[in-house]
Amino acid sequence: MSKITVGFEVPDFEILSTSNNSFKLSQFKGQNIVLYFYPKDDTPGCTREGQDFRDLSEEFKRTNTLIFGISKDSIQSHEIFKTQQHFPFDLLSDENESICQLFNVIKSKNYGKDAKGIERSTFLIDKNGVLYKEWRQVKVEGHAMEVLDIAKALD
């Protein structure tokens, strides 16, 4: 798979999802998709980001936009996180990093040792499956509202 680029169709992919579902991008044609990548379930920044998307989820629905969070955590971890935080959207599990690689969100992090992890990033895919906008090196504060404002422009 090649990397995705703004203005081009996102290649179809299938991945495990919470709620005993399988997420396949092509099944959502006709709806806008927010795909937000986050480093780890149940950590402060990732929890806050998910809560912000949760709190705006009804407004996103009114713009024909669905939300999905994605990290390398297992489905079991996602189910617990989703339940604890009352997320009305599914979380996607990319344990083998294939979708992370497609979206180029795996970055080197140096916390006293060399490690790789997900760089907090969000992608807005329009109803035709085309990448409309991307946000990289996301700061959580105000981010979900910024994404919603752009989604409203798509509606």
Residue 33 lies in a domain: yes
Residue 9 lies in a domain: no
Rounded to whole angstroms, the Cα distance separating 79 from 54 reads: 15
Residue 1 lies in a domain: no
Give tens-digit pLDDT for 26-82: 999 999 999 999 999 999 999 999 999 999 999 999 999 999 999 999 999 999 999
Domain of 137, in residue numbers: 14-154
Give tens-digit pLDDT for 14-30: 999 999 889 999 999 99
Residue 5 lies in a domain: no
Model's pTM, two decimal places? 0.94
CATH number, domain of 64, equals 3.40.30.10
Residue 91 lies in a domain: yes
Spatial strand order of the sheet with 91-93 comes to 21-24, 14-17, 91-93, 65-71, 32-37, 121-125, 131-135
Q: Which residues are the active-site residues? A: 46
Q: What confidence score (pLDDT) does residue 114 get? A: 62
| Number of structural domains in the chain | 1
